[in-house]
A = this chain, B = another copy of it.
Amino acid sequence: MRRRLRYGMVGGGEGAFIGAVHRHAMALDHRYTLSAGALSSTPEKAVRSAEALGLLSDRSYGTWEQMLEGELKRPEGERIDLVVIVTPNHVHFPVAKAFAEAGIHVVSDKPLVHTAAQAAELERIVQERGIVFGVTYNYTGYPLVKEMRRLVQDGRIGVVRKVVVGYHQGWLAEKLEDTGAKQAEWRTDPERSGVAGAMGDIGSHAENLVATVTGLELEAVCADLTTFVPGRRLDDDGNLLLRFRGGAKGVMIASQVEIGHENDLVLQVYGETGSLRWHQENPNELWHAPLDEPVRLLRRGNAYLCPEAAACTRIPSGHPEGYLEAFANVYGEIAAAIGRHAEGGDPSGDYPGVAEGARGVRFIETAVVSAASAEKWTPFPSTP
């Protein structure tokens, strides 16, 4: 039997949202065990959270620094294999840096860090240390996203001409951050969230999904970012025109004030001989329109899908899989990479890594620069 990987979690205590998602997803396939945690910056919360999660008290740490120190003191076979960072964005960088430098594998939520410079520094460290570093762009874990990528790669829609991606939410249509809603508070606070609001929180997902599926490289962006809710300090709506190397065009919408949408991430890719459409809220379906033929509805779990899509499916077609399963798929690839690393192999794999995380940070920065510019097109830096 495979040994379960031991992870330490930073953040994710009482009142948090995404920490529990990571834990559910990691539990699903029996490959990870929560072994340590610095679950909250508030000591009582940290203790209560650790207890609720069954952490041994000597591995419930008050701070991530203590966790790093404590774990490094343990014999090599007993310390955590990886750290999972699920804090607000501003904490990602110092934690990721410290654990990576200590040679501990890292999984960080997105967006990776606040600045492209920080991201570049992390890339360098990861390169030097040869560790596994995952960034949870979780939507790439859906089987039909993998199918979509495969269909593009196999030329099934011809050369890609155009991409339309939307990440539509409506939950910040009111000033929720004034009502005590923790998720709204930090996401609209530049200190904790970074230079962008909606663009950082969900635009970065959209950017990653486009790049993953199409392999297209951004050349320039023309952004219009708006803060619709009075008094809010970051953008809550963003609309972008995109240009890719080689001539493809794109449109991106990332909004948190579009009432009626919940988590409506939609990707449409148009090629010379067909098109594809996938919708996160209905993730078990993929639409493929070949030129001059009836549209085809591909569904998860069927024998006609590609091996990558088949490999990350747990249950037969018709039994819906969802968000947690996709998240778990990303963690499955990370676990496999850690396994290969343990045997001296290549830590890369089919998961979003530090390079993708860094590219996402450059994207956010470029969008913000473009929005403030009178020039129509702001070049996208392919390297920092």
Question: Which residue numbers of A lie inside 8 Å of B, CB to CB?
Answer: 1-2, 4, 17, 20-21, 23-24, 27-30, 51-54, 157, 161-162, 164, 169-171, 173-174, 222, 224, 226, 228, 237, 239, 241, 243, 249-251, 253, 255, 257-264, 268, 270-275, 277, 280-284, 287-299, 301-304, 314-325, 373-377
Q: A24-B28, A241-B239, A374-B375 are in contact. Are A320 and B282 (CB under 8 A)?
A: yes
State in angstroms the CA–CA spacing of A202 and B61 once bound together: 49
Query: Nearest B residue to A282 by beta-carbon distance?
Result: B282
Cβ B303 vs Cβ A294 within 8 A: no
Identity of the chain B residue whose Cβ is nearest the Cβ of A287 in the assembled complex: B260
Tell me the smallest distance from the CB of A254 to a CB of chain B, in Å: 11
Q: Given contacts A164-B253, A222-B222, A294-B297, is CB(A317)–CB(B275) below 8 Å? A: no
Q: What separation, in Å, do the CA atoms of A275 and B186 have in the docked complex?
A: 26
* A4, A30, A375: residue with the most chain B Cβ atoms closer than 10 Å: A30
- In the complex, are the beta carbons of A54 and B316 less than 8 A apart? no
In the complex, what distance in Å separates the CA atom of A290 from the CA atom of B228? 18
Q: Which residues on B sit within 8 Å (CB–CB) of A319?
A: 262-263, 322-323
Q: How far does the alpha carbon of A228 sit from the alpha carbon of B275 in the complex, in Å? A: 15
Q: Which chain B residue lies CB-closest to A274? A: B259
Q: Which residue of B lies closest to A138 (CB)?
A: B319
A-B residue pairs in contact (CB < 8 Å), sample of 11: A1-B52, A24-B314, A173-B291, A222-B222, A222-B376, A237-B249, A259-B289, A280-B318, A282-B282, A295-B297, A297-B297
Q: How far is the CB of A276 from chain B (nearest CB, A)?
A: 8
For A53, give the chain B residue with the smallest CB separation: B1
Q: A288 is contacted by which of B162, B241, B289, B294 (Cβ under 8 Å)?
A: B294
What CA separation (Å) do A325 and B323 show in the bound complex? 10
When the two chains form their complex, are residues A304 and B293 in contact, meaning their CB atoms are under 8 A apart? yes
How far is B161's CA from A314's CA once the two chains are assembled, in angstroms? 32
Q: Give A263's nearest chain B residue, CB to CB.
A: B318
Q: Which residues from chain B contact A51 at a C-beta distance below 8 Å?
A: 1
Kindly state the separation between the CA atoms of A127 and B243 in the bound complex, as whole angstroms: 45
